[in-house]
Structures are given as C-alpha cells and as structure tokens.
Amino acid sequence: MKISLCQINLENGNLKYNFQKIKNYFEKEQPYSDIVAFPELSLTGYLLKDLVKNHDFLDEVLKFKAKVVEFTKEKKCALLFGCPILKNDKIFNSVIIAYDGEEIFSVDKHILPNYEVFNEPRNFSESEKESRVFEFKGEKIGILICEDAWHDHIPNVLAKKGATLFIIVNASPYDLGKHKNRMEIANNIAKKYNKPVAYLNTFGGYDELVFDGGSFIVDKDGYFINEPYFWKEGVIRLNTSNNTPCSNIKPISEEENIYQALVLSVRDYFKKNNFTKAVIGLSGGIDSASVASICADALGPGNLKCVILPSKFNSEESMKYALELIKNIGCEKLTIPIDNIFNNFTNALKTSFNSKNLKEITVQNLQARIRAVLLMGISNEENSLLLATSNKSESAVGYTTIYGDMCGGFAPIKDIYKTQVYKLAKWRNKNVPTGSLCSKLNIIPSFIIEREPSAELNHNQKDSDQLPPYDILDKILYDLIELDLPQKKVSEKNNVDLDLVKSVANMIKNSEYKRSQAPVGPKISTKGFNYDRIYPVSY
C-alpha cells in the first residue's frame, strides 16, 4: 500500500483556505497513492478553542466536510482528514476517510488531553465506540488520533483486531524535548506489535503554539524509514512493500530548533493576522537585536523597520552597533531622539508633585514608555505590528517595563531565557535557518553579544546592579519554574545562598500582574507562563 502523509500549515477556522489546501495536496498525490492523509482537525485547524462550539461554525464544517468527500468521486485513492463532528449534542474530534465520493469510515478520539497547553475536554467528548480497524486494499489500518497513541490500551485493541499498519494523526506542538517523546511512542508501538507506524503531525504557528511537523515513518522493527520532516510543509510517502531503513538521520541542535520555531511563529502570526510589516525599537542590546534578526528571517528585511530612540543615557557604542545591525540586515531605519519629550514629561510630573526630583524608577520607566508610545504611533501610521523584546528571564522577575518594552502585538522571545538569547544569536551568526528571507551570516555585531547587559535608563547602569548574573539567575529560574523545585533544593543544587533563591522566588510572585498583561508570543519551553504555569495574580 502507498500512503502520502501531508504535513501542512493550516489556518484556524478558515474552512475555505484549509479545504483548498487539502484539495490541492490530494489532487497532486492521488495518482501515486492509495491513501492521502492529513493531520488532526485538518479541515478546521487544531487550535479552535471555543470556536468549535459555535453552531454557525459547525454548520459550515458540515458543508465543507461534504465538499471534501465529494471531490474524491471517481478517484482511485482514499482521503483521510480530521474535523470536529457534532453528534447528539456532543462534539467529537474525528477522523474521516472518504473514497469515491462516499464517507466510508470514521473514528473519534478516545483520550482527550487536559494538561499543559491542552484542554480538549472543555469542548470535545470522548469516543463512545470501541476502536476499530479500517480495512482497505488488503491492509487493516489502525488509526490513532494523537493522545490515543500515548495510552497502551488503544493500540492494543487495534492490534487484537488485526491491524497491519498504524497511522497516528497529530496536532502536537513543539517544545523542548517533545520530538524525542513522539519517536519513543511510535517506536514502542512498532516493536510491540511488529507493525509499521506512520506518524503525521501538523506544521505551522498558531497564536502561541508552534507546530514543528517532524512527521516520520518507522518499520515494524522500529527503524526509521525517513528522516523526520521538520520545519517545512511537504509530503512523506510510504510504500508498505518497500521499506528501506534510513541510514543516516542528521541531528538538529537545540538552538536550531528554537530559532526555527521563533521564525515560524513570527511569520505565521503576521500572515494569519493580516500583517505584513513589523516595527522594532532597537537599543543596541541583545534582546532587540535578536528580535530584529528573527523578524528579518521571517518577513524579509524589506518588511522590517528598526527605530533607534536614543536618550542621554545611551552610550555611543549602543548607537554605533545598532546602526551596524541595521546595515547588516538591510532594513529600513529611523532615529527619534527622546530627550526633549522626556524633559517635558519629567517637568510636568515635577510640577504636579511640587518636587525637584522624581523617583529613580519613575525616571527609568518614563523613558521606556515614551519609546513605546512613539513606536505604537509608527505602528498606527504604517499599519505595521510592533514586536515586544522582553525575554523570559526579565518577565519572570519583573525586570521589564509594563507599557514600555513589554509593549507590542507579539513577543517573539517571551519564553526564551536570557542565556538562551545569547546562544541563539551566536547560532544565527553562523547559520541561515530553513526558509529564511534574509540569507546573511554574522548579522548581530559581536559587540552586542559580548557587552555586559544594560537597560541604559541611567548613567553606567548594568542589569547586574539589580539582578544576579544571568548564568546564575537562569539556573534558579529554570529550577523554580520549569522543574517546580522547592526553594531549599534549588539553593543546594546550584550552590547558591537560600536567601537569593527566596528573593528570586519573591520577584516571580510580585511580577504576576505584569505577565498577565504581556502580549502573546511563542511557547517554547515546557513551562510557558500562562499556558503550562497558571498562577493567580493575587496570592
């Protein structure tokens, strides 16, 4: 049997777009295949949330489902696709198989995940029928819908019913280490039941989730027949009568995976929200430089404007290397000094408070907010989207200005620790990511990577004046956030004073209100704020 696994980039709720993409891929693949397969909820997109409960939307789903079934008429190939189905006032996450203009098979998802980013029980009901195999052209195919493959009893039932092949259709988002887990699941099923397994995943950026694809096929002995298909749309073809194991699978570094995820998230967020141009406030620091490089790769230099907003507190080096970065990228630049505006703001406040001096925090935050107001003004004038530049380390401890550098419509590095930002910058200087629209090396000047980090909101200011060095801070943050370790254990593990750990934990707690107002951005880690780690603002 010949099967085409179509790893495609969908649009949530855009039935017309998704229908056309499924049709195009089917028509291209059907001459070569017995089955053309598409990912979980491929007709609608996976990340529907409460849209899937909208009755008008469900009516449209039925119409487009019928259209998908219809275009298989007089074709010698079956089409496997996913969509929500309303039955007896319950909504099911279903897979449909159409052949020659008829719906010949369907299966509903059994196990609905309710952890981390998933909350399927909110909108879907579990399958009310026992698993069954799909018999077609001499094969008995066991179809597993994502989470069903992670629970032994579902593939076991299918194996007992004579499954000769397993197809796992997925919408499995990327995070660090996720693909290793997927491969282990498929490998275990193949070896346990001595049957080949085809793993088909979704691809693309969907709001805060990024889907890396990574579709693959393993033979009955658990050997890979193809190299996993990462970070691009495309088709993997399986021929059950000719399975030669892949001799060399190239490993992908953590930095490459993360950078690819960030580029994809920016590109798709812009495309799917009808934006084409981005604006970024460039400071001469590593965060804004990294966001600029990611944006150039995602959208192309011609769709990026970098704005320098200097004050008396900015060093000459910061401005020099910000301009060098802009030159390296080849994007549009604009310079707007803020000293006069800053003086007007401070004088107005001093008058209001009958004071000669303002608090240091007031003075610093005013600068960040003045910059944000100007950047948002540019955004309005040019119909561009402002990208926020705060990283995870800063947002974790509150070392970021609400309505200042947190301001924007999308925050590409919000789930990236500061030490990771440096690693990504070094990786990007030596590599061009897949699908980049800015195929240059050494984009970020070495000075920006090597300099001591500073917000430059005061003379000779350094981040280390208020925070531990980032290589220490990030280890503490990782253990408190990602691993959820007790403070005492974090202290012992990292050989740091317990009072320091308590101080960091307290900063995390006191910054919940800021993070709750942050713009959306891609989830990369295993514990993204507001998705995997959901805390009250007041506690």
Q: Is 394 marked within a binding site?
A: yes
Question: What are the tens digits of pLDDT across the range 269-279?
Answer: 999 999 999 99
DSSP bridge partners of 279: 305, 386
What one-character-per-residue DSSP string does 114-131 give? -STT--GGGT-----S--
The boundaries of the domain holding residue 417 are 257-463+508-516
In a domain, 527, yes or no: no
Residue 326, classed as helix, strand or coil, is: helix
The confidence band for 8, taking pLDDT boundaries of 50, 70 and 90, is very high
The confidence band for 456, taking pLDDT boundaries of 50, 70 and 90, is low
Q: Is 277 marked within a binding site?
A: no
Domain closes at, from 206, 239, 272: 239
What is the reported pLDDT for 453? 72
Average pLDDT over residues 194-199: 95
Average pLDDT over residues 486-496: 98
Q: Are residues 100 and 226 in the same domain?
A: yes
Domain closes at, from 239, 268, 296: 239
Question: What are the tens digits of pLDDT across the range 214-270?
Answer: 999 999 998 888 888 899 999 999 898 877 777 677 888 999 999 999 999 999 999
Residue 234, classed as helix, strand or coil, is: strand
Q: Is 398 marked within a binding site?
A: no
In a domain, 151, yes or no: yes
The helix (H) or strand (E) run that includes residue 369 is: helix 360-382
Question: What are the tens digits of pLDDT across the range 105-136?
Answer: 999 999 999 988 899 999 999 998 888 899 99
526-532 long-range contacts, Cβ below 8 Å, gap at least 24? 526/116, 526/175, 526/176, 526/177, 526/482, 527/481, 527/482, 527/484, 528/117, 528/175, 528/208, 528/415, 529/392, 529/395, 529/396, 529/414, 529/415, 531/116, 531/117, 531/208, 532/116, 532/117
Q: Are residues 39 and 188 in the same domain?
A: yes
Q: Is 503 marked within a binding site?
A: no
Average pLDDT over residues 375-390: 98
Average pLDDT over residues 282-288: 94
Average pLDDT over residues 484-503: 98
Residue 167 amino acid letter: I
Structure token digits, residue 9: 């980039």
What is the reported pLDDT for 455? 63
Q: Is 355 marked within a binding site?
A: no
Q: Are residues 95 and 134 in the same domain?
A: yes
Q: Where are the beta strands (DSSP E) in 253-327?
A: 278-281, 304-308
Mean pLDDT of the chain: 94
Structure token digits, residue 379: 């955004």
Please tell me the distance from the alpha carbon of residue 517 to that of residue 485, in angstroms, as a whole number. Answer: 26
Span of 97-106, 135-144, 303-312, 315-324 with lowest mean pLDDT: 315-324
The confidence band for 457, taking pLDDT boundaries of 50, 70 and 90, is low
Q: Is 281 marked within a binding site?
A: yes
What is the reported pLDDT for 314? 79
Domain count, the chain: 2
Question: What is the β-pairing status of strands 2-7 and 234-239?
Answer: antiparallel
The confidence band for 420, taking pLDDT boundaries of 50, 70 and 90, is very high
Question: What are the tens digits of pLDDT across the range 78-110?
Answer: 999 999 999 999 999 999 999 999 999 999 999
Q: Which residues are designated catalytic?
A: 40, 109, 146
Q: Are residues 283 and 323 in the same domain?
A: yes
In a domain, 128, yes or no: yes
Q: Is 162 marked within a binding site?
A: no
Q: Are residues 232 and 264 in the same domain?
A: no
Question: What is the β-pairing status of strands 134-136 and 102-108?
Answer: unpaired
What is the reported pLDDT for 354? 87
Q: Are residues 139 and 283 in the same domain?
A: no
In a domain, 535, yes or no: no
Span of 195-204, 225-234, 363-372 with lowest mean pLDDT: 225-234
What is the reported pLDDT for 461? 63
What is the reported pLDDT for 532? 86
In a domain, 521, yes or no: no
Q: Is 288 marked within a binding site?
A: yes
pLDDT beyond 80 at 447: yes
Q: How many CA atoms lie within 13 A of 21 on its CB side?
A: 22
Sign of CA dihedral 101, 105, 110, 115: negative
Average pLDDT over residues 458-467: 72
Which CATH number characterizes residue 455's domain?
3.40.50.620
In a domain, 486, yes or no: no
Q: Is 284 marked within a binding site?
A: yes
Which CATH number characterizes residue 172's domain?
3.60.110.10
Domain closes at, from 210, 239, 268: 239
Angle at 441 (CA atoms; ends 439, 447), nearest 5 degrees? 140
Tokens 């959306």 sit on residue: 520
Full-model pTM: 0.94
Residue 243 amino acid letter: N
What is the reported pLDDT for 315? 82
Please tell me the distance from the alpha carbon of residue 229 to that of residue 351, in angstroms, as a whole number. Answer: 62
What is the reported pLDDT for 460? 66
Angle at 532 (CA atoms; ends 512, 280), nearest 5 degrees? 65
In a domain, 458, yes or no: yes
Q: Are residues 265 and 234 in the same domain?
A: no
Average pLDDT over residues 513-529: 95
Q: Are residues 147 and 268 in the same domain?
A: no
Q: Are residues 27 and 110 in the same domain?
A: yes
In a domain, 450, yes or no: yes
Q: Are residues 306 and 231 in the same domain?
A: no
Q: Are residues 232 and 267 in the same domain?
A: no
Q: Are residues 269 and 319 in the same domain?
A: yes
